[in-house]
Amino acid sequence: MIQYIKTVMLLLTAVAGASVYAQQNTLGSLWLKVEQNYPGIKAAQSAMAAAVLNEKSVNGNRLPQVKMQIQNSYSTYDGSAGAFYPQPGFFNVSGSAGMLTGAAFSPNTFSSAVLEWDFFSFGKLKKEKEMSHSITNTRILEKDACLLKLKKSLSERYISLIYQEAKLKWNEKNIDRLNDIRGITSGLSAAGLKPAADSLLALSSYMQALGEADRLGGSRQAALINLSELLNADTSFNKAPLTKITVPPGFLSPQTTLNIAHPMLMLLNEQSAYYELSSAFQKRSSLPSLKLLGGYAFRGSGISEGGYVSGKFRDGFSNTTNNVLAGLGITWNITDLYTKRIKAGALSKEAERSKLLTEQYQQSMQANLSATAIRIFQQYEQLKKIKTAVEQADAAYNMYLARYKSGLINLSELLQIRILLEQAENNHIEASKNYWLLLADEAELTADFNFLFNNL
C-alpha cells in the first residue's frame, strides 16, 4: 500500500511539473520575459518619457520669463564726452574726474530683475505646444510599432526553435527505424538468409542518420541562441513543446480587412500631422510678437553726491538709486515674412509626401493581408492531406518491413519505402512550420498576436 501511494505521488509530481513547464514555455509566457528584459523596449520607453518632459518644457514657454542679475565691480570712473553706441554688458563710469576728489577706484553695485511676457504671439506658442504633443504621440506609436516588430520576431524565432526540435524528433524516428533494420539484416545475414551486403548497406544508412542528428543538433542550438537574445541572455529556456507545431488548432477564418488603427499606419499619419503643424508654425513665426515688459533696478556707488570718491568695498552699497520700468513691446523680423513662408511651403510638401506614402503603405498592407489569408487557407488544406499521406506511408512501411522479414522483398526496396515515409514526415513538418509563419505574418498585419500567444 505504501509503495502504491509513493508511485501515485511521483506521478502527480511529474504531471504537475510538466504542466508548469508547459506554462513557462508557451509563446505568451516568453513574451512577458521579453517585455521585462529586452533593452530595445526600455529604450523606446525612455524616448517616450523624454518626449513627455519636452512637452512640459515647451508648455513653460507660455509663462512669463523672469530674469535677474546681481553684480559688484571695482572700477575707474573717468568719463568721456561724445556719442557712443553701447554693446551688451555693463562698464560703469560716473561724471567727470575733474570734479571729483578721493580714491582713484570706486566700488559699484548693481542688481536688476526683468519680466518679459509674450502674451500675444499670433498662435506661435499654441502651434509649438501642438508640435511637442505630436512628438509625444509619435514616440508612443514608435513604441507600439517596436512591440509589434518584437512580437513578430519572437514568434518567428520560437517557431524556428520548435521546428528544429521537430526535425530532431523526426531524425530520431529515422535512426530507430534504421537501427531496427540494421538488427534485422545482421540476424538474417548471420543465418545466411540475406547477403552480408544488406548488413553493410543498413549500417551505412544508420551512420548517415547519426551524422544528420549532429547537424540538426547544431541548428537547434543556434535557434535557441537566437531566441535567448530576445530574452536578454535568459538561457533557462532549453526545451520547446513539439505537439502543437505538427498538430495545428482547428482552422480559423483569416482576417481580410485591414485595421486602420494599426500602429504603423497611425505612426505614419502622426508624422504627416507633425509636418502640417510645423508648416503652420513657420507661417505663424513670421508674424510679430507683442510682449508685456516690466523691470526693477537697484544701483549703489562709492561716489557721494558731494563728489567724494570712496574706495572702500562697503561704500559700494551707498548712494543708492532705484528704478522701475513697465511697458509694452513689439518685435518683428520683417525678413521672416519671406524665409518662413518658404520653409512653411517645404514642410507642407513633406506633409503631402507623408500622406501619399501612408496611402501607399496601407494599400500594400491590405494586399499582403488578402494574399496571406488565401495562403493560410491553402496551407491548412495541404496540412490535412499531408497528414493523411504520412499515416498511409507509415502503414505501408510497416507492411513492407514485414515482407522483408519474410524474405519477399529485398533491402533496397524496403529502404526506398522508408525514404518515402521520411519524405512525407519531413513535408509534414515543413508545411506545419510554413502554416505557423503565415499566422505570424497575419498577426503582424492585423496587430493581433492573441491567437499565436494562446495556441503556440
CB atoms within 10 A of CB 66: 11
The pLDDT value given to residue 59 = 74
**149-153 average pLDDT score:** 92
Tell me the pLDDT tens digit for each residue of 14-56. 333 333 333 446 788 888 888 888 888 888 888 888 888 887 8
- What's the Cα-to-Cα distance from 195 to each of 140, 185, 191, 411, rounded to whole Å? 73, 9, 10, 10
Q: What is the pLDDT of residues 361-406, one digit of tens each?
A: 999 999 999 999 999 999 988 988 998 999 999 999 899 888 888 8
- How far is the C-alpha of 127 from the C-alpha of 140, rounded, in Å? 20
253 vs 384, residue with greater confidence: 384
The structure's pTM equals 0.75
Most distant CA atoms of the chain, gap in Å: 139
Q: Among 2-11, 79-88, 325-334, 412-421, which range has the highest average pLDDT?
A: 412-421
Give the mean model confidence (pLDDT) for residues 71-99.
54
DSSP annotation of 104: S
| 3-state SS assignment for residue 71 | strand
> Which burial class, exposed, middle or buried, applies to 37 when counting CB atoms under 10 A from its CB (0-12, 13-18, 19+)?
middle
Joined grid coordinates for residue 74? 571695482
The whole-angstrom separation of Cα 289 and Cα 248 is 67
